[in-house]
A and B are shown apart, each in its own frame.
Chain A
Amino acid sequence: MTILNPRIGGMLVGYYRLCPRKAWLSMRGLWMEQESDAVALGRLLDDHSYDRDEKHLTIDAEAPDGTELVGKVDRTNLKNGVLHETKKGRACEDSHRWQVRFYLWLLYLNGVTRSNGHPFTGQLDYPLLRRTEPVTLDAEHITELATTVSAIRAIADQETPPPRLGKRSFCTKCAFEELCYG
Chain B
Amino acid sequence: MKRPHYLFSSGRLRRQHNTLCLERTTGERLPDDAPDDEGLPSAEADGARSPFPVEAVDSLYLFGEIDINSKLVTFLGQQGIPTFFYDYYGNYTATLFPREGQLSGRLRVDQARHYLSGKRRLVLARAFVEAALFNIERVIKYYQPRLVGEEQAAVQATLVELKKDREALPLTVDIHTLMAVEGRIRDRYYRLWPHFLGPEVAARFPFNKRERRPPSNELNALISFGNSLCYSTVLRQIYRTALDPTIAYLHEPGDRRFSLALDLAEVFKPLLVDRMIFRLLKTGELNPKHFEKYLGGCYLTEAGRKIVVSHWDERLSQTVQHRTMNKKVSYERLMRHECYKLVRHLCDPVGDLYQGFHMWW
Write the residues of chain A forming the contact surface with B, with a CB cutoff of 8 angstroms: 1, 3, 25, 28-31, 34-35, 160-161, 163, 168, 177-182
Contact = CB atoms under 8 A, between A and B. Distances in A.
A21 to B, nearest CB: 10
Given A29-B242, A178-B325, A182-B325, 7 more contacts: A1-B106, A160-B350, A161-B347, A161-B348, A178-B340, A180-B344, A182-B337
Interface string B339-358: 01101100110110000000
Contact of A28 (B107, B325, B326): B107
Given A178-B336, A178-B340, A34 B347 contact: no
B170 interface: no
A16 to B, nearest CB: 17
Contacts of B351: 160, 163
Contacts of B325: 177-178, 181-182
Contact of B107 (A3, A29, A34, A160): A29
A34 B102 contact: yes
A181 B106 CA distance: 21
B51 to A, nearest CB: 25
Contact of B348 (A29, A160, A168): A160
B344 A28 contact: no
Nearest to B334: A182
B347 A28 contact: yes
Given A29-B106, A29-B242, A160 B347 contact: yes
B102 A179 contact: no
A182 B107 contact: no
A125 B215 CA distance: 63
Nearest to B108: A29
Interface of B: 101-107, 109, 240, 242, 324-326, 336-337, 340-341, 343-344, 347-348, 350-351
A161 B101 CA distance: 23
B343 A179 contact: yes
B104 A29 contact: yes
B22 to A, nearest CB: 27
A15 B325 CA distance: 22
Contacts of A180: 344
Contacts of B101: 34
A179 B104 contact: no
Of residues B107, B326, B344, which shows the largest number of chain A Cβ atoms within 10 Å of its Cβ? B344
B234 to A, nearest CB: 15
Contacts of B324: 181
Given A30-B242, A30-B343, A161-B347, A178 B337 contact: yes
30 contacts: A1-B106, A3-B106, A25-B347, A28-B104, A28-B107, A29-B102, A29-B103, A29-B104, A29-B106, A29-B107, A29-B242, A30-B104, A30-B242, A30-B343, A31-B102, A34-B101, A34-B102, A160-B350, A160-B351, A161-B348, A163-B351, A177-B325, A178-B325, A178-B336, A178-B337, A178-B340, A179-B343, A182-B336, A182-B340, A182-B341
